[in-house]
Structure 1
Amino acid sequence: MLITGMAWNTALGADTDGVWRALLAGQSGVAPVASAYPLRNDRAAALPGLPADLDPVRRQFEAGAKPLRAALAEAGLEPADPRLRLVLGTSYGAHLDVPPDGLDLWGATLASELGLARRPLMVSTACSAGSDAIAVGAALIDAGEEEICVVGGVDVLTPAKRLGHSALGTMSPTALRSFDAAHDGTILGEGAAFLVLEKDLDRRVRPLGRLIGVGAANDAAGPTAPDPSGDTVVRAVRAALAAAGRNTGDVAVINAHGSGTPVNDDIESLAFTTAFGEAAAPVVFATKGAFGHTLGATGALEAVAVLLALRDGRVPPIAGLETVMPGFPLPLPTGAPLPITAGLGLSVTIGFGGFTTCLALEAAA
C-alpha cells in the first residue's frame, strides 16, 4: 500500500520537517495549560494557535483541517476528487464536553467544509483509533472498495478528558517519562495527522513510503487496564509481521506506545522481550514526551514519525527519558538521536478496552 501524502498538527507545530527537527533536538510541546478544575497536573501539550476558550467541536475541526489539506496537497489531490474516501479516528473528540449529538458529526463537518465529495467513515477505538483508521482505509483499498483513502486521527484537549485521567490516576503528577525508571503517568496532548493511501499509482507523484502489514488484537481484560502479560502486544506485532511477510530480524525501528504509565511501559517491555528476544535489536523510540498523549490521534502521528525515521535513518531522543527502566530489552535513545539501519518500522498503539494495533511501514524505494 503506497503512502503518497502525509501531514501532522502537533504541539510543536504543523510543518512536517520543522516538527521532525524539533523532535530530533529533544524539544517538547508540554507546557502549563490553565484549567478551571482541580487536576493532578496542570501541564499538557496544546496545539499552538488555537484559543484556549475555543468551542470543543470547533477545536476538533481546526485541529484536523490543516493537516488534512496538507496531506492531500502533498499527494497532488484536490479535496473534491470523487475517488477519495476519508477515514477518521478519534477517542471521544469533543463528545464528552458537549451535548450528545453523535460522535461522527464533527467528521461530516470536516469533510463538507473542506469540500470532500463523500461522507467520511469514523473509527473510535480509544487510543488506537488513529492506527485503526489507517488499517480500515488499507482494508477498503485491498478489497477493491476504494481507490484512494485519506486516513488519520484527530483528538483535542477538553476539561472532561483531563478530569477523567486525573480521576483514573493515569495522569502523572510530575512529567511524562516513557520507559524511565521514574515514570509515574502520562500527560495529555492534542494533535492530528493524516496519510494518503493508494494501491496502484498512476499519477506523477513520488511515494513517501509503504504500509505493508497491519496486526491487531484485543485482550478484553477490562475497560481501562490492559492485560499485564503483554501477550496482546505480542500478537499484534506478530500479526503485522506475518501480513508483511517479514520477521523480527527485518525490524529496524519501533515507535512504541510509550505512555509513561508504569503499567503500559512494563507491558511493552515484556512484550518486546517475548517478541524479539535476542534475535534482533531494533531501536525503540516514543513521541508522547514531546506531543503529550494525543489519545485517538496517537497512531496517525506515530505512523508519520516512523516514516520520517526510516527516511532519515535516525530516531529522536525520548523527551523526559533519563534513566532507562530496569529490564527494558531493546535500545532506547536518551539525550541524543540514535542511528537506525535500513529495514522495517513498526508503530504500536495500545488503547483502553484492550484495543492494540501494530502498523508495519517501509521507506519509499
Structure 2
Amino acid sequence: MTHDVAVTGMAWTTALGTGLDEVWGQLLGGATGLRETESTLVLRNRLAAQVPDPPADWSPTRRQVGLTAATLRRAIEHAGAPPDTLPVIGTSYGPHLDEPSGDLRRWAAEATAAAGLTRPPLTVTSACSSGSDAIAAAARLIREGAAEACVCGGVDVLTPAKRLAHTALGTMSPTLLRSFDLRHDGTLLGEGAGFCVLERLDRARSRGAVVHAVMRGSGSSNDAATMTSPDLSGDGVLLAVRRALSDAGASADDVAVVNAHGSGTPVNDHVETVVLSRMFTGRRPVAFATKGAFGHTLGATGALEAIAVILALRESKVPPVYGLSEPAEDFPLPLPVGGPSEIGEGLGISVTLAFGGFNTCLVFARPVVGDVG
C-alpha cells in the first residue's frame, strides 16, 4: 500500500532572513542577500552571503549544528508535529572540509536533539542534491509505510575551505550570479537551511493539519560523467525529470512552474537549457531561480528551492530572477525579468544538479481547497 504525502510544515534560514512570508516578499520585490566583502579568502570575487568574514573563534561545526537545530525547530512548530517525527537531514560537506575530524552522524544527532526531536536522524549526502534527496527519501519512506511523518531537508554552512575550493575550480563569478543571463560568468556561495514536514495525507487530515502542498513524486539519476561537470547532453538530468513526472503520474504538459537549478555557471545553464528545450515541447511553464538571492547554498539548495516552489504554487506567481536582465536567446521557457510573473494551474517541479553527477527532481501539487485551512 502506498500513501499520498502532504507537506504540513516548512521553515528556512536564508541570506534574506528566516520568515516564510518575509523572505518570500523580499524575493518578489527583487531583493538579494549577497553582499560585498573585503575577505582575502575570496580570490575571484568580493561577494558572499550570510558569513563574509568569520571571526577567529568561529567553528564550522557549531555553526552547522545551530543552523540545523533552529530551522528544524521552526519547521516542527509550523506543522504542529510531535517530537517523535523522523528527521532526514541532507548536507554536502557541511563543516567537514574545514574540520575533517567531524562526524556527520554526531552533529546531526546533536542538532536534532537540540531541536527537541527524540528519534535519531537519517543522513543523506549527495553533494548539492543532498537537500532534494533527503526530501525524496523521506517521501518514499512515507509512501511505502515505513514512516508516518518526517522532517526533511538540507543544511550547509559557508566556510573558507568551500570558497577556496570553488575558486580553484573556476566556478566563482568575478561579478554577480546571473542565472540564464547572456552575461553569466559563474556562481556565488551562500549558506542556509530548509526543512519540510512530510506526513501521510490521511494522517494530516485526521489531525486537522494545514496542508501546504502535496508531494506527488520524485526522480533521480547520475551522469557518471565527471566529478564536477554535468554531461553536456543533458541526458542524465532529463532522465531524472522524466522519472519524477512518471512517479507523479503526470506529463510535461501538467507542469505550470519550474524552479531551475540556475547556478549561473555557463556550463550548468547550458545543460539546463538543453534539458528544458527537450522536455517541454508543448506547454511552456514559467521558470525561475533563487540562487541570485540566496547564493548557491550547496547541500541546502534543493530544500530551499522546494519551499520556493510550494510558495509559488500557493501564490500563483514567481519572483524575478535576481541579476537577470538579458535572458539567453536559446532559453526555451518564460523567465520573470524585473518583476514577478503569474503562473497557471498545474504542478511545480524543482530540479537540482550536483557535483558527482547527481540529478534530482521533485514534483509538488497545490493542496485540495479543504485541506488548506
For this structure pair, what is the TM-score category when the shorter chain's length is used for normalisation?
Answer: over 0.9
Aligned counterpart, 1:168: 169
Are the equivalent residues in 1 in contact too, given 2:95–2:102 (CA < 8 A)? no
Q: State the alpha-carbon separation in 1 of the partners of residues 56 and 296 from structure 2.
A: 18
Choose from 32, 45, 48 the match for 1:44.
Answer: 48
Aligned counterpart, 1:14: 18
- 1:74 is paired with a residue whose SS is helix
What is the CA distance between 1:33 and its match in structure 2?
A: 3.6
Q: State the alpha-carbon separation in 2 of the partners of residues 236 and 265 from structure 1.
A: 17
Aligned counterpart, 2:219: 215
What is the CA distance between 1:53 and its match in structure 2?
A: 5.3
What is the CA distance between 1:36 and its match in structure 2?
A: 4.1
- 1:252 is paired with a residue whose SS is strand
Amino acid at match of 2:212: L
What is the CA distance between 1:287 and its match in structure 2?
A: 0.1
**Partner deviation per Cα, 1:80-133 (whole Å, 9 max, x = no partner):** x33x11000110001000142323322111012222111101101000000000
Aligned counterpart, 2:286: 283
Q: State the alpha-carbon separation in 1 of the partners of residues 40 and 120 from structure 2.
A: 36
Amino acid at match of 1:272: L
TM-score (norm 2): 0.94
Are the equivalent residues in 2 in contact too, given 1:310–1:363 (CA < 8 A)? yes
Q: How does 1:1-365 map to 2 (within 5 A)?
A: 1-46=5-50, 54-78=58-82, 81-82=83-84, 84-199=85-200, 200-201=202-203, 202-277=206-281, 279-365=282-368
Are the equivalent residues in 1 in contact too, given 2:12–2:195 (CA < 8 A)? yes
Q: State the alpha-carbon separation in 1 of the partners of residues 108 and 16 from structure 2.
A: 24
Are the equivalent residues in 2 in contact too, given 1:30–1:45 (CA < 8 A)? yes
| CA 1:16–1:184: 2 relative to 1, 3 Å | same
**Partner deviation per Cα, 1:3-22 (whole Å, 9 max, x = no partner):** 00001000000010000000
Are the equivalent residues in 2 in contact too, given 1:4–1:75 (CA < 8 A)? yes
Q: State the alpha-carbon separation in 1 of the partners of residues 107 and 317 from structure 2.
A: 36
Q: State the alpha-carbon separation in 2 of the partners of residues 331 and 37 from structure 1.
A: 37
Are the equivalent residues in 1 in contact too, given 2:51–2:158 (CA < 8 A)? no
What is the CA distance between 1:45 and its match in structure 2?
A: 1.2
| CA 1:228–1:53: 2 relative to 1, 3 Å | farther
TM-score (norm 1): 0.96
Q: State the alpha-carbon separation in 2 of the partners of residues 38 and 91 from structure 1.
A: 20
Amino acid at match of 1:137: A
Q: State the alpha-carbon separation in 2 of the partners of residues 70 and 10 from structure 1.
A: 13
Amino acid at match of 2:104: L
Amino acid at match of 1:340: I
- 1:215 is paired with a residue whose SS is strand
Identity of aligned residues (%): 56
Amino acid at match of 1:139: R
Instruction: Mark the runs of 5 or more structure 1 residues left unpaired by the alignment.
Output: none
**Partner deviation per Cα, 1:300-319 (whole Å, 9 max, x = no partner):** 00000000000001000000
Amino acid at match of 2:313: L
Amino acid at match of 2:185: D
What is the CA distance between 1:257 and its match in structure 2?
A: 0.1
What is the CA distance between 1:136 and its match in structure 2?
A: 0.8
| CA 1:53–1:313: 2 relative to 1, 3 Å | farther
| CA 1:146–1:51: 2 relative to 1, 3 Å | farther
**Partner deviation per Cα, 1:142-197 (whole Å, 9 max, x = no partner):** 22211110001000110000000000000111110000000000000000010000
CA RMSD across the alignment? 1.4
Q: State the alpha-carbon separation in 2 of the partners of residues 101 and 44 from structure 1.
A: 25
- 1:100 is paired with a residue whose SS is coil
| CA 1:251–1:31: 2 relative to 1, 3 Å | same
- 1:88 is paired with a residue whose SS is strand
Are the equivalent residues in 2 in contact too, given 1:13–1:47 (CA < 8 A)? no
Q: How many residues are aligned here?
A: 360
Q: State the alpha-carbon separation in 2 of the partners of residues 30 and 38 from structure 1.
A: 14
- 1:162 is paired with a residue whose SS is helix
Are the equivalent residues in 1 in contact too, given 2:41–2:163 (CA < 8 A)? no
Amino acid at match of 1:207: V
Q: State the alpha-carbon separation in 2 of the partners of residues 363 and 67 from structure 1.
A: 24
Are the equivalent residues in 1 in contact too, given 2:69–2:114 (CA < 8 A)? no
**Partner deviation per Cα, 1:7-48 (whole Å, 9 max, x = no partner):** 100000001000000000000000124434352112111169
- 1:127 is paired with a residue whose SS is coil
Instruction: Mark the runs of 5 or more structure 2 residues left unpaired by the alignment.
Output: 369-373
